């Protein structure tokens, strides 16, 4: 087993750190506190080619391995997890189009998506269907020219910028089992009947918009069907979600590392009872525990990424990484706040933002409660075999 990054991965990480230090850190507090969309940072990420992370080079993408993809989300999340979110949903949707799309769909969408000229998202969840995607009610009825779509989607990151917007629908609501009646449509926007009705207020994760999308009588051509075959939508979405868990795990590692660095900086600066608080044994214990857990989460995330590249589908490994890294992020954010004492509760310091951002990681791309069930079932199945 090789626990070292390759030379090219090290260079790539160095480039990412320079971008974060130069462009992201000086702006994050102002942008996040004032609810300003980071348009300049998005443009810089596009110029770096980061919107083409998982897009094949034949379509102008970087075609990076999954560990390199994880490095992107880890390094950006050290400064601002919300900014990583703008890139995250786009990346996972692009990977899904690249894997399952028809050749005409790849040629039409991927080059512009790789350049950042187009952006995309994932419209899966609904008001009454989150973890249970088979319970969605958004329906695509066959017409002479394509599909007539009605329904509501919720918690859609990049909703106001997505073109195309991949939408999980029921093409056959009577199908048994239910997943055989589910498909994904790549809906180009703007389109009559498709409306982003509101931005959802959130505790944290304030960089990207998170929206409700209503589809009312939306007419979609037949060639918008991802892969050109009905009944494949749930499998396509679940493949994308397990890749997305690498993204979430890496964000958890990055946020945790940012929390540790903030705690260390404050502990070396703050004096109490005549000495720096970094000399206090209880503070040292917090730092030691944080650093140990973060390194374990990092190695698990890289392992899951490598398994995804090796196996093509790694639900157990990516689920474990996402579960562990997101829980580490929750603990690290809280411990960093405790190291800061009263100042940790102030918006003048970054740790309160980390504390607000961390809970999303335990919810997104499958709640940790659902993932525990998935992991246990998979392990039990392997044990029986």
Has residue 128 been placed in a domain?
A: no
Domain boundary among 210, 230, 250: 230
- pLDDT value at 385 more than 80: no
- Predicted TM-score of the model (pTM): 0.96
Q: How far is CA 68 from CA 152, 178, 300, in A?
A: 35, 36, 14
Same domain, 242 and 376: yes
Same domain, 279 and 328: yes
Same domain, 153 and 204: yes
pLDDT, one tens digit per residue, over 93-116 is: 999 999 999 999 999 999 999 999
pLDDT, one tens digit per residue, over 303-327 is: 999 999 999 999 999 999 999 999 9
Per the annotation, the verdict on 369 as an active-site residue is no
Structural domain of residue 48, as residue ranges?
7-115
Mean pLDDT of 280-296: 98
> Which CATH number does the domain housing residue 287 bear?
1.20.140.10
**Residue 208 banded pLDDT, cuts 50, 70, 90:** confident
3-state DSSP percent of the chain in helix, strand and coil, to 5:
60, 15, 25
Same domain, 239 and 219: no
Spot the catalytic one: 195, 365, 369, 382: 365
Domain boundary among 230, 261, 287: 230
CA distance linking residue 233 with residue 133, whole number of Å:
10
Has residue 120 been placed in a domain?
A: no
pLDDT, one tens digit per residue, over 222-247 is: 999 999 999 999 999 999 999 999 99
Has residue 2 been placed in a domain?
A: no
The number of folded domains in the chain is 3
Has residue 359 been placed in a domain?
A: yes
3-state secondary structure (DSSP) of residue 196: strand
Rounded to 5 degrees, φ, ψ at 377 are -65, -40
Same domain, 256 and 203: no
CB distance 244 to 365 below 8 Å: yes
CA distance linking residue 269 with residue 276, whole number of Å:
7
């Amino acid at each position: 087993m090789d626990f070292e990054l390759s030379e090219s991965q090290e260079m790539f990480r160095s480039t990412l750190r320079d971008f974060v230090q130069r462009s992201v850190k000086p702006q994050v507090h102002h942008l996040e506190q004032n609810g300003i969309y980071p348009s300049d940072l998005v443009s810089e990420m596009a110029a770096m080619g980061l919107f083409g992370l998982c897009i094949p080079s034949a379509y102008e993408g970087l075609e990076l391995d999954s560990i390199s993809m994880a490095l992107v989300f880890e390094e950006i999340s050290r400064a601002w997890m919300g900014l990583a979110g703008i890139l995250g949903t786009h990346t996972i949707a692009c990977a899904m189009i690249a894997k399952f799309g028809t050749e005409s769909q790849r040629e039409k969408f991927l080059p512009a998506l790789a350049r950042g000229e187009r952006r995309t998202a994932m419209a899966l969840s609904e008001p009454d269907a989150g973890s249970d995607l088979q319970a969605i009610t958004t329906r695509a009825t066959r017409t002479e020219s394509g599909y007539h779509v009605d329904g509501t989607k919720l918690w859609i990151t990049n909703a106001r910028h997505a073109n195309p917007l991949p939408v999980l629908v029921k093409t056959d609501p009577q199908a048994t089992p239910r997943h055989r009646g589910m498909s994904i449509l790549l809906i180009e926007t703007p389109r009559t009947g498709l409306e982003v009705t509101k931005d959802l207020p959130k505790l944290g994760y304030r960089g990207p918009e998170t929206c409700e999308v209503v589809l009312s009588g939306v007419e979609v051509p037949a060639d918008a069907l991802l892969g050109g075959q009905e009944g494949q939508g749930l499998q396509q979405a679940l493949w994308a979600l397990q890749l997305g868990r690498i993204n979430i795990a890496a964000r958890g590692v990055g946020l945790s590392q940012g929390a540790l660095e903030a705690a260390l900086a404050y502990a070396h600066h703050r004096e109490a009872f005549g000495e720096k608080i970094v000399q206090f044994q209880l503070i040292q214990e917090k730092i030691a525990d944080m650093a140990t857990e973060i390194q374990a989460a990092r190695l698990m995330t890289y392992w899951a990424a490598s398994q995804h590249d090796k196996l093509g589908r790694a639900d157990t490994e990516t689920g474990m990484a996402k579960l562990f890294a997101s829980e580490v992020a929750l603990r690290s954010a809280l411990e960093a706040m405790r190291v800061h004492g009263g100042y940790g509760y102030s918006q003048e310091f970054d740790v309160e933002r980390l504390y607000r951002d961390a809970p999303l990681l335990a919810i997104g791309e499958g709640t940790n409660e659902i993932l525990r069930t998935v992991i246990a079932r998979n392990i039990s199945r392997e044990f029986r075999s």
